Amino acid sequence: FCPNCKARNTIDAPAVRELAPAFDGPERTRGESAGHASSGADGTTYTRLPPLEDFVEIAHEIAEPLIAEIPGEKVEFIVESGTPAVDDGGEPLLGSYVPPPPPGALVPTRPPTVTVYYRTFEKIEREEGPFDWEAELRETIEHELEHHIYHLRGDDPMDEEEHAEIDREVVR
């Protein structure tokens, strides 16, 4: 809040500058990820996380066939490059699912949405080193689509378990 006028100025936190890539070696460019590998802490060779444009393309290649298999309203798929959403415990998310508003709700209609957060993938690579980001991406998309399938059935036990785990972490 401004100390003079008390106006609120909301900013993304962490700010973009706080999550700037801190990779060793040359700057990555679009298309460079193919064949560019690094070794993980366990000695396994992994392809480095690609630039955003390539990541988006790969994410859609994974998501679209999976989304096409789900009956009913089409799920909107988004790759978010900005500040990732966080869980109730404050941890940045790899992905999220937002169901559509219930029928008759007094809010604008929107489709069910699965979002993947690129900056969380960047953070993992920066903090933990090279990892199998493509397998993690696939698992994240599949997980969020599972939430949608449970939503269609009327009960999401995965969501209940995730909230219980967050509550246990807060206590710990």
Model confidence pLDDT, tens digit, residues 28-69: 444 444 445 666 666 677 889 999 999 999 999 999 999 999
Determine the pLDDT at residue 9: 58
List the end-to-end C-alpha distance of the chain, in Å, as a whole number: 32
Q: Residues 149-161: pLDDT tens digits?
A: 888 888 877 877 8
Q: Residues 65-94: pLDDT tens digits?
A: 999 999 888 999 999 999 999 887 788 999
- Distances in Å between the Cα of 131 and the Cα atoms of 4, 35, 86, 123, 136 are 48, 14, 21, 11, 9
Please state, in angstroms and rounded to a whole number, the distance separating the CA atoms of residues 157 and 146.
Answer: 10
Determine the pLDDT at residue 106: 74
